Structure 1
Amino acid sequence: MEAPERVIPPGSHLADPAPLGLAAFAMTTFFLSVVNAGLLPATVTAGVFGLAIFYGGIAQFAAGLWEFAKGNTFGAVAFCSYGAFWLSFWFLAGRTDLAAAGPSAGKAVAYYLLGWTIFTGYMMLASFRVSGAVAAVFVTLFVTFALLTIGAFTGAAFWGTAGGIVGIITAIVAWYASFAAVFNFTAKRPAVPVWPRA
């Protein structure tokens, strides 16, 4: 009697790219959120562009491609999308002159943020099927984008500041999820809880 053929999961030879994607997302989100929260002046916003390109953008996008190789649709869509978000943020904020748009420039940014709020909303719903730690990242990120969107549409600084504060919380939660994955791998056991889906 022949032994059943062993099925090898796709990308099983690859390390888990999620901790890299989460760390890249956390670092870039933290820096920009500190500015949005008013802890640093808006004049230093350009300081986030390097992170936006190389860490939040390229490194996170690469993590998404590795998730595709591992067969993880959720991780692939999340990391590639938010990697592209940071690259588009760099291009929009650092390379695009919207002066000719006049008053419509602010509205364009508002709709840009609204689009990311909608995307984050449905990814948040899907994240509830992943783990508690990942879901916490998406819940706080959704609130962050929603607050920033309201601020962009209304022009009221309060909403942007609130979005910055929640963005800092989002970064901390993402760092926790990244740390848990790295530590649990090195410990060879689930030492740091991530509240996986039952």
Structure 2
Amino acid sequence: MSDIEKGEIYDNSRRFATAPRPSTIGNPASLGLFSFASTTFILSFYNVTVDGIAHPNVVVGMALFCGGLAQLLAGMWEFPRGNVFGGTAFTSYGAFWLSFGTIFLPGTGILAAYENAEELEHALGIYLFSWFIVTFMFLIASLRKSVAFIALFGFLSITFLLLGAGKFTTNATVSKAGGAFGIITAFVAYYIGLADLLAAEKAAVVRLPLGAFKHD
């Protein structure tokens, strides 16, 4: 075998070894978005004290299993598809909901550790402000994606900011405003999730525009 033939075999084997394998994983975005939207929708209605509801404990189950576990799985499935943004976002907010639900589980003793109500409110305020920072970073990353994603992370940033401010100021009106923006955020997430679900269908009844930006 000549050196030229050996070189060709080496080049071919190297090319095949490094060729990316096509992903057979379906788009998990709708799962993540519906899970996020539903949990946010419920908690936001509690935040605006609909029907006088002032305690968010009923959302704990949703936070742990829907907003938390389902989103975490969606994020893990996004990474093999090469979607770093989706994987990071879904995993992050899945972790957020898991941590949020854990706070309200009596067995953790987290709430019971605070004997001073004001201290607890401020601690929750810092917690929410940290997620405002994370969400604002996602907003920056979404600026070249689509109008829908800009709206989603824009409204979510405002939601976290208002909820954090409401905890620090103990101002119920500010917290209710955060809940109102949370409801808007939930509906935007529902819209994007439905748009992705319909886009995956070969014969969808309708297609929903996301206002995606064209890239050269």
Same fold (TM over 0.5): yes
Residue 177 of structure 1 corresponds to 192
1:155-166 equivalent positions in 2, closer than 5 A? 155-166=170-181
1:169 positional shift: 0.5
Residue 145 of structure 2 corresponds to 130
Which residue identity is paired with 2:192? A
1:12-31 equivalent positions in 2, closer than 5 A? 12-31=23-42
The answer to whether structure 1 residue 109 and structure 2 residue 120 are counterparts is no
Q: Which has the higher contact order (CA 8 A, sep 6+)?
A: 1
Which residue identity is paired with 1:195? G
TM-score w.r.t. structure 2 length? 0.83
Distance 2:88 2:159 in 1: 19
1:9 positional shift: 5.7
Task: Say whether the 8 Å CA contact 2:49–2:176 is kept in structure 1.
Answer: yes
**Residues 143-168 of structure 1, C-alpha deviations (whole Å, 9 max, x = no match):** 11111011011110001000111100
Distance 2:142 2:105 in 1: 31
Work out which of the residue numbers 107, 110, 114 in structure 2 matches 1:100. 114
**Residues 56-115 of structure 1, C-alpha deviations (whole Å, 9 max, x = no match):** 000000000001111111111100000000000011123422443523211111100010
Which stretch shows the higher mean deviation, 136-145 or 87-96? 87-96
| 1:48 to 1:148, Cα distance in 2 relative to 1, 3 A | same
Distance 1:44 1:73 in 2: 36
Structure 2: 5+ residue stretches without partners: 1-14
Residue correspondences, number: 197
Structure 1: 5+ residue stretches without partners: none
Task: Say whether the 8 Å CA contact 1:107–1:153 is kept in structure 2.
Answer: yes
Amino-acid identity (%): 41
The answer to whether structure 1 residue 146 and structure 2 residue 161 are counterparts is yes
**Residues 129-151 of structure 1, C-alpha deviations (whole Å, 9 max, x = no match):** 22221221111101111110110
Distance 1:98 1:117 in 2: 25
Residue 191 of structure 1 corresponds to 207
Displacement over 4 Å in runs of 4+: 5-11, 187-190
Distance 2:195 2:19 in 1: 26
Q: Could you say what the CA RMSD is over the residues aligned between the two structures, in angstroms? A: 2.4
Which residue identity is paired with 2:66? Y
Task: Say whether the 8 Å CA contact 2:44–2:183 is kept in structure 1.
Answer: yes
TM-score w.r.t. structure 1 length? 0.90
| 1:15 to 1:91, Cα distance in 2 relative to 1, 3 A | same
Residue 10 of structure 2 corresponds to none
Distance 1:9 1:62 in 2: 23
Residue 118 of structure 1 corresponds to 133
Residue 88 of structure 1 corresponds to 99
Task: Say whether the 8 Å CA contact 1:36–1:164 is kept in structure 2.
Answer: yes
| 1:9 to 1:51, Cα distance in 2 relative to 1, 3 A | farther
